[in-house]
Amino acid sequence: MAGHSTYVPAFGFTRWLDKRLPILRLTHDTMTTYPTPRNLNIWYTFGGILTFCLGVQIVTGVVLAMHYVPNADLAFNSVENIMRDVNYGWLIRYMHANGASMFFLAVYIHMFRGLYYGSYKEPREVLWILGVLIYLLMMATAFFGYVLPWGQMSFWGATVITSLFSALDQLIPHLGSAITSWLWGGFAVGDATLNRFFSLHYLLPFAIAGVVGLHIWALHVPGNNNPLGIDVKGPQDTVPFHPYYTVKDAFYLSLFVILFAGFVFFAPNFFGNPDNYTPANPLVTPTDIVPEWYLLPFYAMLRSVPQKLIGVLVLVGALVTLFFVPWLDTSKVRSCRFRPLMKQLFWVLALDCVMLGYVGSQGADAALNLGGMQLPLVWLARLGTAYYYGFFWVLLPLIGRIEKTKALPESIAKSVLGATGERT
Amino acid sequence: MRHAFPLLALALGLSICGLAFAEDTSAPLPVKHVQWSFEGPFGTYDRGALQRGFQVYKEVCSACHSLNLVAFHALAAPGGPGFTEAQAKAIAAGYKIPAEPNDKGEIFDANGNRLTRPGILADHFPPPFPNEEAARAANGGALPPDLSLIVKAREGGPDYVYSILTGFSHKPPTGFKVQDGKYYNPYFAGRNISMPPPLAAGSVSFADGTRSSVAQEAHDVVTYLSWASEPTLEERHRTGFEVMAFLVLLAGLLFLAYRKVWKDEH
Amino acid sequence: MATATKPEPTRRDFLYIATGAVGAVGAAFAAWPFIDQMNPTSAVLAMASIEADISSVQLGQQVVFKWRGHPLFVRRRTPKEIAEARAVSLSDLPDPVARNANLPDNAPATDANRGSKAEWLVLVGVCTHLGCTPTVSTPQAPQGDYGGWLCHCHGSQYDTAGRIRKGPAPQNLAVPPYSFLSDTKIKVG
């Protein structure tokens, strides 16, 4: 809650600084005394984890950029130089590649947390929108980054995704081709494309950092939501951020880093695609072009429609949908803890995204063997896409009106400590 | 009704596990699974296998396949075949590297042959062909891929490469037409592979006296190629163990600190 | 309402201090790869040592090799050049130290201390003033007054043992670590 600052500079230097640039005051107010609901659970630690991930990606990325060469003839070998000859280059590269996967793992948990507890609802709509913006910037950054090693998947993934814009030719003749050749800097993905993708890949993370600053600011104005979804009523509902949440965030971050280290040191190519260890060849298309796992659900949506332009609109629409969530949900109750019907639909959405991800990972012609009958996976993709859209555009508005919600607790403190005020 | 959606999702999820390959004799066989000394979190490269594998690469594979990303000094680096620097230097000197222009600016001798110089530690393994076109011309139009990353560049990794190398002994099923100029290998996509069987029993006589069956040669060269693809594996596993131990300690301390801070709240 | 029991502050503080210390140590170990990655790579280090074939160097001639990114002068001195170098007394030298990596740091800059064989001079071709490459002096095209090298950037002049005699350069041209592998091959670095 944006309240009165209690910071009192204790030393001569800190008094002097506080009058000129109150940065210590800002730290004190936002990270030390900041009143935080006392009932935040593990799912609320992912904001801090995401900040850590952004830091890791920037530090490892800047260091990789000291050795990487963004030229189509040299890029692949420059990455291998990093892996083989640069001191600890293998470690920094694997941290960066696996860090991207960890970043998306954390962001999906973070987003689903927001959906479940109604953290997007009034008065946190702008917080949610900034978050969606960060997510889109992350997707763009990851897309550009994956092109840089200039492997087969780098090249052909870039070709497929940039070619999507040519679908616009159906709306306005020549517009799509003009856009794609503008993106490519040529007649196909090539050296010009690689260079500009490198520049943008270096730039966007700092844009992300800026939007993250706004995101945290937009959080601190109304204050954190909490698993009960009810407002903080007074100081008895909160604890100071430090030491309660600094230590809690640090602990859960350490668990996250253990998982991260597990991948980096013992399964560094688990998330990757072997085809990207083959240098890019514009004349040979890999048998299956697959993006990285975190883009697979949207890839499945794109391929669910045979018509190119509609497929693109379905993909873009799925992302644009996220911006409208605060207004699509009509429920007066925030948290799914008290929304029994929405809770189940939420879990179906989660499974739906996993299913779409699986479909996205398979070939375009893949099919399920159901007791002798072949079910093309594309029908699962269509079902999954329909549910995705239906969830946001039909169910969210509808369920809020018809659902019988459970009774909300009186306050956070009462809920945590029990009605008599004794610890439960 | 309440449970309909989750149950439907569950049913779909379970049936995904029933995904089966179509009956198709041109679909490749699943790869053979072999025990590798370097698999698992504590895996290391078997030094003997690396040195024998290097011998197989040098005497058999390097006739067609380059190893562009591997430098001679890597042969003496920790975590690798374990040659001494002197041995690696001698290996390097045994190779002919295209020479820089001489004082007259020439790179060919009077007979039109490329001028060469002996290799040094800093050089990489020289390719058998000067360019892709020459490689294709010498191999019936097919391009033998560079092997520096082959183990990481193929689904199935070392098992796949091993299966290909030992798969030539399979005879094609009746009715299967092997394309002209190709060979039957059931582990290769489409089962027609351009590479003739490269290994035969006894084609390499190992310096350490190991019997050179096809399986042995394949096992050793795949170990060597796995090292070529991932030379820092041993350092990665070692560092990983230390990092994990540290992180578990730190997580433990943070957990205790967390409980201590929250003991009287909540 | 929380009724806070007060555990001994020392026990609680020790845990926090221990945790913080372990975290700090971890951070230091984690920082090291990011610093070390800027050190020369193994590809660069593999070129730290070269073997130069000097069989083509004529008497009175200099051949320039590349060593660690710098020019390496290999000069085959004539008896006249050797005699000239030996005739110089140490007190005439602005820099009386040998600057020979194969000898102790304080070895004097006698001609004998500038190389293992009198006929061969192996020097790092980097002017000790601000790093330009000096031009070699030959009988056909003399450079400077001392028969050795002249640096055209700011006028430093070196003698036939590569020692600074005149001009702003503070030190003699450096002699790198080197040894003769045979009469026609030297290993440098």
Domain with B76, as residue range(s), is 71-123
Residue B174 lies in a domain: yes
Query: Are B37 and B153 contained in the same domain?
Result: yes
Which residues in chain B touch residue A245, judged by CB atoms under 8 angstroms apart? Answer: none
Place of tokens 């698993």: A227
> Which residues 6+ apart lie within 8 Å of C64 measured at CB?
C71, C72, C73, C74, C125
d(CA A3, CA A6): 9
Domain-located, residue B184? yes
Query: Of A56, A51, A70, whose CA–CA distance to A201 is shortest?
Result: A70
Is some CB atom of chain C closer than 8 A to the CB atom of A421? yes
Question: Is residue A37 within 8 Å of residue A237, measured between CB atoms?
Answer: yes
Residues B86 and B151 in one domain: no
Domain-terminating residue out of B79, B96, B123: B123
Structure tokens at B6: 């989750």
Of C5, C22, C43, Cβ closest to residue B253: C22
Give all domains of chain A, ordered by start, each with its CATH number.
1-33 (no CATH), 38-289 (1.20.810.10), 305-405 (no CATH)
- pTM for this entry: 0.91
Can you tell me the distance from the alpha carbon of A326 to that of A424, in angstroms, rounded to the nearest whole number? 34
B213 and B150 share one domain = yes
Nearest Cα to A204, choosing from A129, A134, A291?
A134
In this structure, the answer to whether residues B51 and B91 fall within a common structural domain is no
CA C189 and chain centroid, separation: 9
Which of A87, A90, A91, A95 has the highest number of chain C CBs within 10 A, making it the mutation to test binding with C?
Answer: A87
Q: Do both B35 and B158 map to the same domain?
A: yes
Does the pLDDT of residue B19 top 90, yes or no? no
B211 and B116 in a common domain: no
Structure confidence at residue B199 (pLDDT): 97
- Pairing relation of β-strands C50-53 and B96-98? unpaired
CA A405, CA C4: separation in Å to the nearest integer?
A: 36
8 Å CB contact between C186 and C122: yes
CB–CB contact C37 A84 (8 Å): no
Q: Which residues of A touch B16 (CB under 8 A)?
A: 355, 358, 368
Do B175 and B89 belong together in one domain? no
**Single-letter amino acid code for the residue at C152:** H
In the predicted structure, residue B12 carries a pLDDT above the cut 80: no
Residue A219's SS3 state is: helix
Element (H, E) at A82: helix A75-84
Contact residues, chain A, for C29 at CB < 8 Å: none
C147 by DSSP, 3-state: which?
Answer: strand
B4, part of any domain: no
Task: Convert the pLDDT of each residue in C70-125 to its tens digit.
Answer: 999 999 999 999 999 999 999 999 999 999 999 999 999 999 999 999 999 999 99
CA distance C19 to chain B (A): 6
Statement to judge: residues B59 and B106 lie in one domain: no
Residues B52 and B83 in one domain: no
Q: Tally the domains of chain B.
A: 2
pLDDT at B170 over 90: yes
Residue among A168, A112, A117, A167 nearest A135 (CA): A112
Which ranges of chain C have pLDDT less than 70?
A: 1-12
Burial class (CB in 10 A: 0-12, 13-18, 19+), A410: exposed
A272: tokens are 């990757």
C70 catalytic per annotation: no
- Contact of A348 with B13, CB cutoff 8 Å: no
Alpha helices, H only, A164-224: 175-184, 191-220
Residue C67 phi, psi (nearest 5): -140, 120
pLDDT of residue B9: 54
pLDDT tens-digit series, residues A218-253: 999 999 999 999 999 999 999 999 999 999 999 999
DSSP label at A30? Answer: I
Clarify whether residues B79 and B185 are in a common domain.
no
Does a structural domain hold residue B242? Answer: no
C62: nearest Cα among C48, C78, C84:
C78
Give the angle B32-B38-B43 at the CA atoms, nearest 5°.
130
Confidence of residue B81 (pLDDT cuts 50, 70, 90): very high
Same domain assignment for residues B113 and B213: no
pLDDT at B5 over 80: no
Q: Which of B58, B89, B123 is the last residue of a domain?
A: B123
**Could you tell me if residue B9 is inside a domain?**
no
Alpha-carbon gap: B160 to the closest alpha carbon of chain A (Å): 12
Q: What does each C-alpha distance from B46 to A320, B49, B85, B224, C185 come to in angstroms?
A: 54, 5, 19, 9, 38
Nearest-CB residue to C12 (from B253, B260, B265): B260
Residue B14 counted as domain residue: no
Angle at the Cα of A82 (from A76 to A86), degrees rounded to 5?
155
Task: Dump the DSSP string for A103-143.
Answer: HHHHHHHHHHHHHHHTTTSTT-HHHHHHHHHHHHHHHHHHH
Q: What is the pLDDT of residue B26?
A: 75
For chain B, the helix, strand and coil percentages under 3-state DSSP, each to the nearest 5: 40, 5, 55
Q: Which residues, at least 6 apart from A131, have a Cβ–Cβ distance to it below 8 Å?
A: A110, A111, A114, A215
Distance of alpha carbon A141 from alpha carbon A152, whole angstroms: 19
Task: Judge whether B12 lies within some domain.
Answer: no
Q: What is the pLDDT along chain A (424 residues), one digit of tens a residue?
A: 456 899 999 999 999 999 999 999 999 999 999 999 999 999 999 999 999 999 999 999 999 999 999 999 999 999 999 999 999 999 999 999 999 999 999 999 999 999 999 999 999 999 999 999 999 999 999 999 999 999 999 999 999 999 999 988 888 999 999 999 999 999 999 999 999 999 999 999 999 999 999 999 999 999 999 999 999 999 999 999 999 999 999 999 999 999 999 999 999 999 999 999 999 999 999 998 999 999 999 999 999 999 999 999 999 999 999 999 999 999 999 999 999 999 999 999 999 999 999 999 999 889 988 888 999 999 999 999 999 999 999 999 999 999 999 999 999 998 887 654 444 4
**A206 CB-contact burial (10 Å; exposed 0-12 / middle 13-18 / buried 19+):** exposed
Domain match, B97 and B188 both: no
| CATH code of residue B174 | 1.10.760.10
Q: Closest Cα to residue B72, out of B124, B108, B2? A: B124
Tell which of C22, C44, C58 to mutate to test the B interface (max B CBs under 10 Å). Answer: C22
Coil/strand/helix, residue A38: coil
User: CA-CA distance, A192 to A188, in Å (whole number)?
Assistant: 10
Residue B222 is assigned to a structural domain of this protein: yes
Nearest to A388 by CA among A352, A355, A363: A352
